[in-house]
């Protein structure tokens, strides 16, 4: 599993990618936005799960 910094970097990269397609100009970009949002949600879930498993993380 990736460390927290790598996950946070990936979230930031995905947010930048999402912003570059906003507003979507085609159906393909619209589908890409949905995929990006799902990836961000999954990565944030991983961080939350990690925080629950290790109460000493910041």
Q: Domain containing 35: what range?
A: 4-53
Q: Structure pTM?
A: 0.63
The residues near 36 (Cβ < 8 Å, ≥ 6 apart) are: 14, 17, 18, 21
**58 in a structural domain:** no
pLDDT tens by residue, 2-57: 688 888 898 899 888 888 877 878 888 888 888 988 998 998 888 887 666 665 55
Backbone angles phi, psi at 22, to 5 degrees: -110, 120
Count of domains observed in the chain:
1
Rounded to whole angstroms, how far apart are CA atoms 49 and 30? 29
Backbone angles phi, psi at 3, to 5 degrees: -75, 170
């Amino acid at each position: 599993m990736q460390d927290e910094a790598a996950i946070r970097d990936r979230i930031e990269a995905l947010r930048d990618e999402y912003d570059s397609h906003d507003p979507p100009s085609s159906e393909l970009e619209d589908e890409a936005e949905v995929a990006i949002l799902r990836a961000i949600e999954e990565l944030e879930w991983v961080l939350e799960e990690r925080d629950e498993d290790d109460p000493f993380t910041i």
